[in-house]
A and B are shown apart, each in its own frame.
Chain A
Amino acid sequence: MHDYTMPFGPQHPSLKEPINLALELDGNYITGVKMRFGYVHRGVEKIFEGKDVQKVLYVAERVCGICSYAHSSACTRAMEGILGLEAPTRVKLLRTIVAELERLHSHILWAGFGLHEIGFQSMFMLFWRERERVLDILEAITGGRVHHNYNKLGSVRYDLPKGCEELMRKNIAELEENLPGLIKEFEKNSVVLARFKKVGKISRKDAITYGLVGPMARGSGVKSDIRKIDPYEAYDDIRFNEILEEGGDAYARAKVRLTELGESISIIKQCMSLLPPKPAEKWKWPPIKTGEGFGRVEAPRGEDFHYYEIEDNIVTRGKIRTPTLANIMILEKMLIGAEIGDTPVIVASFDPCIGCMERTMVIDKGKKNWFTESEFRRKFCD
């Protein structure tokens, strides 16, 4: 049998965003992986420098397309901590509703795309039909389907419009009627079980050693939910469960994500019943301060962490660590020893969001290293 290298390359029908894995094959089994990233690096942390506090909120949202509201929430949490602002109750509940709607749409997107990887095209079409109902609610509340631009410092941009409550009730009732049938099909179909079980196993010890976050860690039995560890917005007053599964394979991680759909719908209903009747006030200009601070939220893929230094309300340094960046190093360990047919299932089961992930890390041993852009390009991009 030949030994050759198959590029699971930048352009591939099973990837949403470009990464390059060069799989070294021996027949049908993978013996080594070389990973290369950097195809969508945009220099976001440099764009943050020199911008006003209110403007950075809108640029931070455009780091990603799927988890956009999570980045906006983390930036808001960081800035409100530095400036010493506190939002009233109704504003916190509205922000929680939009954050849970975003978690719903992101997990439904994952379910459709993860089942398309194994050839089940019908589930892709039927799950994304449900996603349209969630995006209609988001468009009615915030004015945008993908990028919401809803947060301001200390308040939100608009309150709920008239007629929104009936639209939400109707669409959520339709979601509750259609989603359980699709989830049951995922659990009972014998071909799906044959493809997903015992594939990409992560033990509990590995999950703690590599520092995994989000549903990857919860699928191996490790508690890691920021909404319980360090509550923010309105999560103190709401009752919900943290979903844990033993097993550690791709099936357990999929089950964690699909069970969280039901939890998100229950959180939205509790928030709608707790809204105080007086509408929120209009937003005001923030005070001017100097300092540093951080904010962390639970994005759909795990823990998202933002850190900022500001001087007279102008940002001098911003740093982001996204959940996919924390999870990416275990990919090599999961792939070695698997077959080619398992590769799309493994890559899909950890739900990569590469647009968020791209950061530059330069490791220097001892002395300080300053790179200019042309030197970096000459040395590292071949």
Chain B
Amino acid sequence: MNFGEEAILNLFRKPFTDKYPFGKKKVLDRFRGWIVYHPKKCIGCKLCEKNCPIGAVKFHKKGKIDFDMGLCMLCGQCGDVCPTQAITYSTEFENAKPKKKFTAKTG
């Protein structure tokens, strides 16, 4: 149909805009949000520290790992190589936090 007719028909349709932040935003399951670290499942193999492309993972001892979320680019490599699934990803996307809380979540 003609573009002029479509413009007038659009006046009577629901707008396509998402009403975020005054409504919920739909996020799909596989979306890579923030890192979640489970210290009880960790076996201390150091594979995550060796395979991070930019060096954002610092291993101290089994069950205590520091993730520098300022450097992290959320590629998913550390979660892929961990043999016991101790690193997973949540679907949170509102990740602007003050500096003290800018670390990975522990679960």
A51-B30 Cα distance, complex, nearest whole Å: 27
A7-33 vs B: 1/0 string, CB under 8 Å? 000000000000000000000000000
A58 touches B30 (CB 8 A): no
Residues in B whose Cβ lies below 8 Å from that of A158? 30
Q: Which one, A51, A129, A161, A185, contacts B29 given CB within 8 A?
A: A161
- In the docked arrangement, what's the CA distance between A54 and B76, Å? 12
Complex: chain A residue closest to B50, CB-CB: A52
Main secondary structure of the interface of B (DSSP, over half): loop
B4 — nearest CB in chain A belongs to which residue? A185
**Which residues of chain B (2-18) have a CB below 8 Å from chain A?**
3, 6-7, 16
Distance in angstroms from A134 CB to nearest chain B CB is 14
Is there a chain B Cβ closer than 8 Å to A296's Cβ? no
Check B102 for interface membership: any CB of A closer than 8 A.
no
Partner of A51, one of B31, B53, B76: B53
Give how many A residues have a beta carbon under 8 Å from the other chain's beta carbons. 26
Q: Which residues from chain A contact B71 at a C-beta distance below 8 Å?
A: none
- B76 close to A143 (CB less than 8 A): yes
Task: Determine whether B28 belongs to the interface, using a CB cutoff of 8 Å to chain A.
Answer: yes
A181–B77 CA distance with the chains assembled, in angstroms = 42
Asked whether B3 lies within 8 Å of A143 as measured between CB atoms, the reply is no
Distance in angstroms between the alpha carbons of A138 and B45 in the assembled complex:
33
- Do residues A58 and B32 form an inter-chain contact, with CB atoms below 8 A? no
Q: Is A157 an interface residue (CB 8 A)?
A: yes
Expressed in whole angstroms, the Cα–Cα distance for A136 and B51 within the complex equals 29
Whether A58 and B75, one on each chain, are in contact in the complex, defined by CB atoms closer than 8 angstroms, is: yes
A139 contacts chain B at the CB level, 8 A cutoff: yes
Determine how close the nearest CB of chain B comes to the CB of A311; give it in whole angstroms: 18
Q: Is B73 among interface residues, defined by CB-CB distance under 8 A?
A: yes
Binding site secondary structure of chain A: helix
A149 to B73, CA, bound (A): 11
CA distance A52 to B54 in the complex (A): 11
Given contacts A55-B77, A149-B75, contact A144 B53 (CB under 8 A): no
A52 contacts which chain B residues (CB < 8 A)?
Answer: 51
Kindly state whether residue B80 has any CB partner on chain A within 8 Å. yes
Report Cα–Cα, A52/B90, bound state, in Å. 27
Q: Given the complex, which residues of A lie within 8 Å of B74, measured CB to CB?
A: 144
Question: Is there contact, CB below 8 Å, between A136 and B30?
Answer: no
How long is the Cα–Cα vector from A181 to B1 in the complex, in angstroms?
7
Interface residues of A in 31-55 (CB under 8 A from B): 51-52, 54-55
Q: Which residue of A lies closest to B52 (CB)?
A: A55
Contact of B51 among A54, A59, A140, A185 (CB under 8 A): A54
A140 touches B30 (CB 8 A): yes
Chain B's closest residue to A283 (CB) is B80
Q: Is A96 an interface residue (CB 8 A)?
A: no
Chain B interface residues (CB < 8 Å from chain A): 1, 3, 6-7, 16, 28-32, 51-54, 73-77, 80
15 more A-B residue pairs beyond the given contacts A59-B53, A157-B76, A157-B80, with a C-beta to C-beta distance below 8 A: A51-B53, A52-B51, A54-B51, A58-B53, A58-B75, A58-B77, A59-B54, A129-B16, A140-B30, A144-B31, A144-B32, A147-B73, A149-B76, A161-B29, A181-B3
Binding site for B on A (CB under 8 A): 51-52, 54-56, 58-59, 62, 122, 129, 132, 136, 139-144, 147, 149, 157-158, 161, 181, 185, 189
Q: List 18 A-B contacts (CB under 8 A).
A: A51-B53, A52-B51, A54-B51, A55-B52, A58-B73, A58-B75, A122-B7, A129-B16, A136-B28, A139-B30, A140-B28, A142-B30, A143-B30, A144-B31, A158-B30, A161-B29, A161-B30, A181-B1
